[in-house]
Amino acid sequence: MTDTLTPVEGAVVEASDGPQDSPRKLKRSIGVVGGTLLTLSCVTPASTLFVVVPDLFGSLGTATALTIAIGSLLCVAVAFCYSELGTLIPSAGGEYAMVSTLAGRLAGWLVFVLSVLVVMIVPPVIAMGTADYLAPIVRLDPSLAGAGVMLLATLAGLLDLRANAWITGVFLVLEVIAAAVVAVLGFAHAERGPASLVSMEVAGADGRTDTVTALLIVSGLAIALFVTQGFSTAVYLSEEMEHPRRNVARTVLATLAISAVIILVPVAAITLGASDIGELTGGDISSMVTAWSNSAVGTFVSLCVALAIINAGIVMVIQNSRVLFASARDKAWPEPMNQVLARLGRFGSPWVATLAVGIPGAALCFVNLDTLYGVTGVSVTGMYLLVAVAALLSRRAPHKHTPAWRMPLWPAMPVLLIAVLVYILSQQEASHLLWTGGTTAVATLYWALYLRPRRHTRWLVSIPTDEQAPFRGAGPSSTCGYRRVGATSHDEPAVGGSQNGPSS
């Protein structure tokens, strides 16, 4: 029998009045619009377009748009899994809370480690791109600029979530404008027809045109999945979202659709508008924009991208701090560390966890991270794989009748997704697989030597108990607090509090 979490039948915890080790409660303050703005800002379409996509152009050439389109279609299945699991298990722990509850605590722990690997690496890597796009105004060292962005994002992450939704919303508008300008200019200066989007050409090392193979496209899918990966932020924000049973799925699916359009349309325009295959493979989008227009427009687009990167840093720090906060609340670490990381500040944000994410992120800007894009792609693919496995198990008792958004074509959708993701992993570079595999091996040792021997008191996922009514037309929540879940229903006694009825 797997070490799968099952709900504790018993009382729920009042977040403010419970015992010292009771789970801390985050404040519900955002709806679908605020959640979508924050989640889109984490996808950060413009910074993805200008920082990540150029690397894809370098390896895939004219096949870049096709690869991203295939990745976006795969992400529809992933989004279905996140929508169902995120409304079934609306926890700030995100993937690890969902997978721990449905597929076992070891699987949940490995998902947590993979997610931390992703969320700790990506913000500083993207932040260091700020210097390139501030170059028309001021020359900065990329490491110093990246560290400054990370510290600024950390300060913003200490604020109330509703305030951050408006800050990131303003920046997001500028991102969309920049992407729209690139799309309009690219289509207006098209050098080739739409057939070139599937022509599978890339500039070789000797300057001649090479053909992009199907295996190269499959290998690039790991990065293509990462391009729209941020839609999972909606799940991390589920504890701070009003009516999560209804709004999490709406936010996930809306964010994926919007971000796919914002990224794919400019990518197609750039592919058509590049003067030759060599310029496209070079991936210098700013130079292309300047050539299509003038230096003023190029400067405007560059500044919008710089703001997009800052925006992404803010939202990623918010997301990552919630994951770390939730892991401490769920007793993943020695008790002194749990107590510190689970502290909430005056604005209701997990301020210690925010600092613990932002300050190391600033330090990572001074580390050589050239190989970590590949590691991030492998980690994202592995994380999606475990989420798909959990989705296969989401309709077993006692979760079968729990109110939640339910995906269409279950179980065919997660089964197909699992098969595709396994194949994508098999086509990745050995070094990237070894780095990710080594990290998960160390995490497994920590599980075996520390967490599993203490399974009655450690790694106990907390699931919010408010708004357990059916999500369609649900009114105000009838209960308030959390239920602890353990290896069995007798592993962890219910913590004192009040209860309006049995937990779902």
How far apart, in whole angstroms, are the C-alpha atoms of residue 284 and residue 292? 13
Return all residues near 326 (Cβ < 8 A) that are at least 6 apart: 91, 92, 93, 94, 96, 97, 462
Q: Which two tokens stand for residue 241?
A: 């979202």
- Give CA separation, 434 vs 116, 378, 440, in Å: 17, 10, 10
How far apart, in whole angstroms, are the C-alpha atoms of residue 241 and residue 95? 17
Helix or strand (DSSP H, E) at 463: strand 462-464
Q: Does 343 have pLDDT greater than 60?
A: yes
Other C-beta atoms closer than 10 Å to the C-beta of 453 total 10
Q: Which two tokens stand for residue 410?
A: 């279950």
Q: In this predicted model, which residue has the larger pLDDT, 124 or 46?
A: 124
Q: Does 214 have pLDDT greater than 90?
A: no
Q: Which two tokens stand for residue 98?
A: 């969902």
Return all residues near 445 (Cβ < 8 A) that are at least 6 apart: none
Q: What is the 3-state secondary structure (H, E, C) of 161-221?
A: HHHHHHHHHHHHHHHHHHHHHHHHHHHHCCCCCHHHHHCCEEECCCCCEEECCHHHHHHHH
Q: Does 245 have pLDDT greater than 90?
A: no
Most confident of 306-310, 350-354, 419-423, 479-483: 419-423
Per-residue model confidence (pLDDT) at position 110: 94
- What average pLDDT does this structure show over 26-46? 73
Q: How confident is the model at residue 117 (pLDDT cuts 50, 70, 90)?
A: confident
How far apart, in whole angstroms, are the C-alpha atoms of residue 96 and residue 324? 11
Q: In this predicted model, which residue has the larger pLDDT, 165 or 9?
A: 165
Residue pLDDT, tens place only, 187-197: 999 988 888 88
% of the chain with per-residue pLDDT over 70: 82
Return all residues near 38 (Cβ < 8 A) that are at least 6 apart: 30, 161, 164, 165, 168, 233, 237, 315, 318
% of the chain with per-residue pLDDT over 90: 19
Per-residue model confidence (pLDDT) at position 464: 62
CATH topology of domain 29-435: Amino acid/polyamine transporter I (1.20.1740)
- Give CA separation, 157 vs 171, 296, 322, in Å: 15, 32, 10
Per-residue model confidence (pLDDT) at position 462: 67
What are the residue boundaries of the structural domains of the chain, listed by start?
29-435
Q: Does 213 have pLDDT greater than 50?
A: yes
Q: Does 124 have pLDDT greater than 60?
A: yes
How far apart, in whole angstroms, are the C-alpha atoms of residue 339 and residue 38? 28
How far apart, in whole angstroms, are the C-alpha atoms of residue 167 and residue 162? 9
Residue pLDDT, tens place only, 285-309: 888 888 898 888 888 888 888 887 8
Q: How confident is the model at residue 402 (pLDDT cuts 50, 70, 90)?
A: confident
Mean pLDDT of the chain, nearest integer: 79
Per-residue model confidence (pLDDT) at position 370: 65
How far apart, in whole angstroms, are the C-alpha atoms of residue 4 and residue 141? 48
Per-residue model confidence (pLDDT) at position 206: 67
Helix or strand (DSSP H, E) at 412: helix 412-426
Per-residue model confidence (pLDDT) at position 383: 92
Helix, coil or strand: residue 344: coil
Residue pLDDT, tens place only, 418-454: 999 999 898 888 888 998 999 999 999 999 999 999 9
Per-residue model confidence (pLDDT) at position 25: 57
Q: Does 283 have pLDDT greater than 50?
A: yes
- What average pLDDT does this structure show over 129-142? 81
Q: In this predicted model, which residue has the larger pLDDT, 316 or 492?
A: 316
Q: How confident is the model at residue 479 (pLDDT cuts 50, 70, 90)?
A: very low
How far apart, in whole angstroms, are the C-alpha atoms of residue 489 and residue 10? 10
What are phi and psi for residue 146, nearest 5 degrees?
Answer: -65, -40
Q: In this predicted model, which residue has the larger pLDDT, 66 or 91?
A: 66
Per-residue model confidence (pLDDT) at position 27: 64
Q: Does 138 have pLDDT greater than 70?
A: yes
Per-residue model confidence (pLDDT) at position 3: 52
Q: Which two tokens stand for residue 94?
A: 């995100």
